[in-house]
Amino acid sequence: MSGARTDDARTGGTHVYTVRVAEDPADREACFAVRKEVFVREQGVPEDLEYDAYDAGAVHVLAIREDGVALGAGRLLYGPEVAGEKTGGDPSVGSLGRLAVTREARGLGVGVALVRAIEEAARARGLAAVDLHAQTQALGFYERLGYEAYGPEDIEAGIPHRSMRRPL
């Protein structure tokens, strides 16, 4: 889907990574490993809540460094079967979720690249907008990418969240 080259002042190096749709089982496993590292280990989300029935039909997106190390992941849910629960009943809206970037890759633009790749996947499927359920500490990140919060704050897996949407 896309590639990026970023200079990392913290390590004095340059990182080249690619963001792509997870096409094979190894890519999907890399996505799940990133999610486990970030959500389960770092944030304490119970593993049985992190993985759900939606994973099977989701479009998973992976950011991977040139040496094969996974840096980030996210997923897109879409279609009538998820519209009722994830997008307020609107099948023309996709749901961006499970966006995770490893600690070592934070600040390198990986999160932005993943969001844009998920939006690209949504456009390719004819969707008109993307919703997400953001941790409140990440609202500013998504606002800078054009998302607007709506509705009340709620708690998911013990973490405050807000719903957000961006038209495509």
Q: What is the pLDDT of residues 88-144, one digit of tens each?
A: 788 999 999 999 999 999 999 999 999 999 999 999 999 999 999 998 999 999 999
End-to-end CA distance of the chain: 17
pLDDT at 11 over 50: no
pLDDT at 6 over 80: no
Rg (CA), the chain: 15
Report pTM: 0.87
* 31 CA to centre of own chain: 10
Query: Can you say whether the dihedral through the CA atoms of 49, 51, 57, 62 is positive or negative?
Result: positive
Least confident of 29-43, 53-67, 80-94, 131-145: 80-94
What letter would DSSP give residue 11? T
CA distances from 136 to 50, 104, 156 (A): 18, 22, 11
pLDDT band at 1 (very low <50, low <70, confident <90, very high): low
* 68 CA to centre of own chain: 19
Q: Give yes or no for a contact between 168 and 129, defined as CB atoms under 8 angstroms apart.
A: yes
